Amino acid sequence: MKALLDTNIIIHRESAKVINQDIGTLYRWLDRAQYIKCVHSLTISEIEKHKNLSTIDTFLIKLASYEKIEIPSPLQDEVKIISESEDINENDKNDTMLLNEVFVGRVDILITEDKKIHNKALKLDIVDKVFTI
């Protein structure tokens, strides 16, 4: 089974400073359940925007241990409708792209800290596949 991890989850896990201890527990449970941890190309793009090149290099090395979703799935019509009504900025649109990967079945679950993604999942009837921590 595959778990797609939202950008903030990745950042919390891979940063040098512990921000959220629950992320470590989450990773332990994902490993025990034998989930494949996935990162989306949009997450990598967001991390590459960081101002510190050393930080970017460090993150990219750490991200090599994740399965990458390099080419996003085409946005489904049902997901487009949600996006058009709710997405205000680029981050919202990126979150919708992550949610789309769950909607099309490319990954089994999405783990996020973003309640707005959870609300979109509810409207798409995939709320049981989106976990907010």
Domain count of the chain? 1
Which residue range forms the structural domain that includes residue 48? 2-132
Q: What is the CATH number of the domain that holds 69?
A: 3.40.50.1010
pLDDT at 54 over 90: no
pLDDT tens track for 81-94: 999 999 999 999 99
pTM of the model: 0.92
4 sits in which H/E element: strand 2-5
> Nearest to residue 120, comparing CAs of 107, 98, 104?
98
Strands (DSSP E) found in the chain: 2-5, 36-40, 67-69, 109-112, 130-132
